[in-house]
A and B are shown apart, each in its own frame.
Chain A
Amino acid sequence: MGPKSIRILLVEDNAGDVRLTQEAFKDAKVHLDLYIASDGVEAMDFLHRRGPHAESPRPDLILLDLNLPRKDGREVLMEIKTDPWLKTIPVVVLTTSGSEEDIERSYELYANCYISKPVDMEGFLSVVRNIDDFWLSAVKLPREKQR
């Protein structure tokens, strides 16, 4: 059996940003599986393994945009971090908003860290690589609990 893949759930409604993120993670240091949820409802269905997501794996890391259709990212963050089963999954807020209020509120809701998405492509790719370098190499992630 080979090394376990790291599973990342990317919660992002912008198709362009999804493609960029997938591209940037292609050069990741570790083998990883990237899952996409395009809105807040889909994100929670994925995490709770509901409906079409009944077989979805538990992610090791979540990248979360705040501004999402159907259910806002701030609500998703709160639900994850108050759920005893989900709360240990590190959540990296990765969003266009740079407002102090969003930053402060996210940390209060126990976001693990907050990153403002750079507007330029090179900056965006660089940030994704930094996430890879730090969260997938330096950090110890919590192990998957056995159900």
Chain B
Amino acid sequence: MQTANSNAPAIRILLVEDNPGDVRLTQEAFRDAKVHLEMHVAVDGVEAMEFLFQEGKYAKAPRPDLILLDLNLPRKDGREVLKEIKEHPNLKAIPVVILTTSASDLDIEGSYLLHANCYISKPVDLEGFLTVVRSIDDFWLSVVRLPAGERHGPQVNSNSAG
């Protein structure tokens, strides 16, 4: 959908996060984002893959431009989700920002080995969390060139399947 104040298509973010408090915080922090964005939420690893493969109720889900991925997820672990994304020819180019409570070296190293684009430990305090989300906004939504994927030109309420 075209917005009055922007000629650019909305950036689509898939947030994979099971903690509803963190979901709300992230949505709140992105409200002040510099660019127009749409946030989609998957609450576990199975739902994340269904969204990405446009299965079932997600048949019309858009391809995200960026994925924020928690590692510790119910049903299917975030490490497994990361692996599946980065091994799939149609999904591997989508940047994945690991955004998780874990700060263990094993998880950090493991994520980069699986080709996570970057790894961020979620701060435990609110201010720290908001700062980190804003830094993701500043960097990934402003400075970085994101892959275009299946987009062609400006988006106008695209619901095309596949």
Residues of A within 8 A of B (CB): 81, 87-88, 90, 98, 100, 103-104, 107-108, 110, 112-116, 127, 130-131, 133-135, 137-143
Contact = CB atoms under 8 A, between A and B. Distances in A.
A140 B145 contact: no
Contacts of A133: 135, 138-139
Contacts of A103: 145-148
A130 B112 contact: no
Interface string B133-146: 00110111011111
Interface in B88-122: 92-95, 103, 105, 108-109, 112-113, 115, 117-121
B112 A90 contact: yes
- Taking chain B's interface residues, is the majority helix, strand, or loop, or is none over half, making it mixed? mixed
Given A110-B115, A112-B118, A140 B103 contact: yes
Contacts of A143: 105, 108-109
Interface of B: 86, 92-95, 103, 105, 108-109, 112-113, 115, 117-121, 132, 135-136, 138-140, 142-149
27 contacts: A88-B109, A88-B112, A103-B146, A103-B147, A103-B148, A107-B95, A107-B147, A112-B117, A113-B95, A113-B117, A114-B144, A114-B145, A115-B145, A116-B145, A127-B143, A130-B138, A130-B139, A130-B143, A131-B143, A133-B135, A134-B139, A137-B135, A138-B135, A139-B120, A140-B119, A143-B108, A143-B109
